[in-house]
Amino acid sequence: MALQQQTIERLPYVEGVLNYLKPTPDKPRTLGFAPSPVGPQANAPHDPHAVPIRDARPVAGELSLDREGFALLTHRTALADLDDEDELQRVYYPEAERLVAAATGGKRVVIFDHTVRRRVAGAEDRQPGMPRQPSTRIHGDYSEKSGPQRVRDIMGAEAEALLKRRFAIVNVWRPIRGPLRDAPLALCDATSVEPGDLVAADLLHRDRAGENYLMTFRPGHRWFYVPDMRADEVLLLKCYDSATDGRARFMPHTAFVDPTAPTDVLPRESIELRTFVFY
């Protein structure tokens, strides 16, 4: 059962400014790399809105990956050194695969990508020589078109057979250091998103063309966040689901500035894994 509006309205909240998409006559386009020192180019103007972003902790046990599109779990990793790529894949990948399989009931989980973000004040994402930065525009990682295409990109000869069954793309997101107060994630309850809110946008990489969703503003959107996330907590984010039976398919999200965070807060460091869940 979805969260009742009366329950949601009683939750503590902060008022954060979120960057929606300002409607444009052209298809939005973003370069997924920095062609110059000023950062990535885009033709998708921001439409900032101040909205209440509610504390998800009091209702964490009621959240559903298949309904709201996100879930909060406790998970302590045995990973000792995040910067060791071999250890990351040897230790953390199998842990995350087991975690996602248990949470989703998936028959097979395949991790196909990960991103480490370390915020640098004043830096734009994808600047040459800089770590990846938190994404400050509301987005969904995959669209109706690009979800299946990513399976084809990654799974090779298996792809067409896998695409005949239900599959999902679920991100595993966690702070590297906690408690996290800088640039936390705002998560949009998927039950409050209408199809017309989502706008397909080209996402152009150096070696391939992808597509994601941006979102236009509507007052009915319900936003949540998890304050003071610890390093032993993870968020699962439903970024795509091929099922069309009413469950969450695309869950928009974004980093935001928590106006209640202290000025000397530790810069955000986080890691996200992207997984295919095959049923």
Give pLDDT tens digits for 105-164: 999 999 999 999 999 988 888 788 889 999 999 999 999 999 999 999 999 999 999 999
* Peptide bond before residue 23 is cis, with ω within 30 degrees of 0: no
Task: State residue 32's pLDDT score.
Answer: 67
Read off the pLDDT band of 38 (50, 70, 90): very low
Check pLDDT > 90 for residue 34: no
Q: How deeply is 274 buried, as exposed, middle or buried, from its count of CB atoms within 10 A (0-12, 13-18, 19+)?
A: buried
**Domain limits, the chain:** 13-278
Task: State residue 41's pLDDT score.
Answer: 61
Burial 34-47 (b: 16+ CB within 10 A, else e): beeeebbebebebb
User: Residue 53: what are its φ and ψ, rounded to 5°?
Assistant: -120, 110
Read off the pLDDT band of 210 (50, 70, 90): confident
Task: State residue 30's pLDDT score.
Answer: 79
Read off the pLDDT band of 171 (50, 70, 90): very high
Check pLDDT > 80 for residue 205: no
pLDDT by residue (tens digit) across 48-97?
Answer: 999 999 999 999 999 999 999 999 999 999 988 877 889 999 999 999 99
Stretch 201-210: mean pLDDT: 82
Read off the pLDDT band of 194 (50, 70, 90): very high
Residue pair 80/86 in contact by the 8 Å Cβ criterion: no
Structural domain 13-278, CATH architecture: Sandwich (2.60)
Beta strands at 223-225 and 139-140: parallel, antiparallel or unpaired: unpaired
Q: How deeply is 204 buried, as exposed, middle or buried, from its count of CB atoms within 10 A (0-12, 13-18, 19+)?
A: middle
Check pLDDT > 70 for residue 216: yes
In sequence order, the 6+-apart residues with CB closer than 8 A to the CB of 6 are: none
Read off the pLDDT band of 33 (50, 70, 90): low
Q: What pTM was estimated for this model as a whole?
A: 0.94
Stretch 36-58: mean pLDDT: 82
Measure the CA–CA gap between 6 and 15, rounded to whole angstroms: 18
∠ CA 276-180-269, rounded to 5°: 60
Torsion sign (Cα): 186, 37, 41, 50 = positive
Check pLDDT > 70 for residue 36: no
36-40, 45-49, 132-136: which range is least confident on average? 36-40
